Amino acid sequence: GQSLEQPSEVTAVEGAIVQINCTYQTSGFYGLSWYQQHDGGAPTFLSYNGLDGLEETGRFSSFLSRSDSYGYLLLQELQMKDSASYFCAVREFGDYKLSFGAGTTVTVRA
Amino acid sequence: GAVVSQHPSWVICKSGTSVKIECRSLDFQATTMFWYRQFPKQSLMLMATSNEGSKATYEQGVEKDKFLINHASLTLSTLTVTSAHPEDSSFYICSASPGEAYEQFFGPGTRLTVL
């Protein structure tokens, strides 16, 4: 089985930088994904890390360290529209299912 | 590209009735589709994985006879909630993948309310 841990809530002001950490335990790690979900909406894909290192996509970056079973999502230049829930999700070899963390609610204040 | 649709977007039904939810990949062929359930303020919980032309694989604790999944074509999977009860009220989300090594693309979700 898998288990993932991420903080439940983060609050920050517009323009700030937020880092959401995710630690995981899994028997056959394949990759770590990040998803954003606004209230009432479906998850949208943000980033994926299959190898160690940093992946940058605009204001969002994601990092993975497989040896530490750890990754993070970095949100830069926060905007009000970034207020949402963010989920890390692990994929395993063999079935490629996604196991989601409990989610981090990010609240951006003016 | 990689658009997944779900229908209906919301449904209200009486207890004891059955509800069918459709999931379609609009611009790619989905060899694998996944069905999730999400209760308010909670994470997505995988219910089952379906591969085109074969029986769905259900996660532990998910009743196969209650949640019927059919993946008859490479662009369509359906989830039927049979004899729905109020505790089945939830947000049901499907995702589709063009292959095992690819990312999952999520549909917009279906909100089910059972009275």
Q: What is the pLDDT of residues A75-108, one digit of tens each?
A: 999 999 999 999 999 988 877 789 999 999 999 9
Residue B99 three-state SS:
coil
Mean pLDDT of A23-29: 91
CB contact under 8 A, B106 and A48: no
Do residues B111 and B9 touch, judged by C-beta distance below 8 A?
Answer: yes
- Of A13, A26, A31, A22, whose CA–CA distance to A79 is shortest? A13
- Of B1, B114, B23, B10, whose CA–CA distance to B70 is shortest? B23
CB contact under 8 A, A42 and B100: no
Confidence of residue B34 (pLDDT cuts 50, 70, 90): very high
pLDDT number for residue A94: 77
Using CB atoms, which residue from A48, A100, A103 is nearest to B103? Answer: A48
Nearest-Cα distance to chain B for A79, in Å, is 22
Residue numbers in A near B97 (CB within 8 A): 96
* Cα–Cα distance measured from residue A64 to residue A41, given in angstroms and rounded to the nearest whole number: 27
Share of chain A above pLDDT 70, in %: 99
Using CB atoms, which residue from A33, A41, A96 is nearest to B100? Answer: A96
Residue numbers in B near A41 (CB within 8 A): 108-109
* pLDDT digits 0-9 by tens, B50-84: 988 888 999 999 999 999 999 889 999 999 999 99
How many interface pairs between A and B have CB atoms less than 8 angstroms apart? 43
